Amino acid sequence: MLLSHGFPELWCSWRAQMAALAAAGFRAAAPELLAPWRGAPIHQPSLFIAGDRDDVMQFPTSAAAVARFSQSLPNLRGSHILAGAGHWVQRERAAEVNSLLLGFLRGLAPGR
């Protein structure tokens, strides 16, 4: 699973999810350099998770980005806005995020 994040966040902010995914038999990566793909649609199955208290979701461009998900994420399998969670949703709600990630992955893998 590719776990993406934005500046100034680092790969290590996903460590709880990486451990849970590995324990469930999945591989995960959180690369630092996503800039070369800016603006390109992501055709792989995708999952969006954010917190409703995340200030980034209040940016003027955020609503437009979410509205364009059908073009930018044509294979979006789920979009979850977690009530009461802020920007660091994977830290604030690790168990819930882990459950959403594992459910997403299990939905992709036949026979699991």
**What global pTM score does this model have?**
0.68
> Is the residue at 86 inside a domain?
yes
pLDDT at 34 over 60: no
- List, for residues 69-93, the tens digit of each pLDDT value: 999 999 999 999 999 999 999 999 9
Average of per-residue pLDDT across 29-41: 72
How many whole angstroms separate alpha carbon 68 and alpha carbon 96? 25
Residue 67 falls within a domain, yes or no?
yes
**Is residue 3 one of the residues assigned to a domain?**
no
Domain boundaries, position 15: 11-108
* Total domains in the fold of the chain: 1
* Residue 61's pLDDT band (cuts 50, 70, 90): confident
92 within domain boundaries: yes
- Which ranges of 10-88 does DSSP label H, i.e. alpha helix? 15-23, 60-67, 69-72
Whether residue 111 is predicted with pLDDT greater than 70 in this model: the reply is: no
Q: Is residue 25 part of a domain?
A: yes
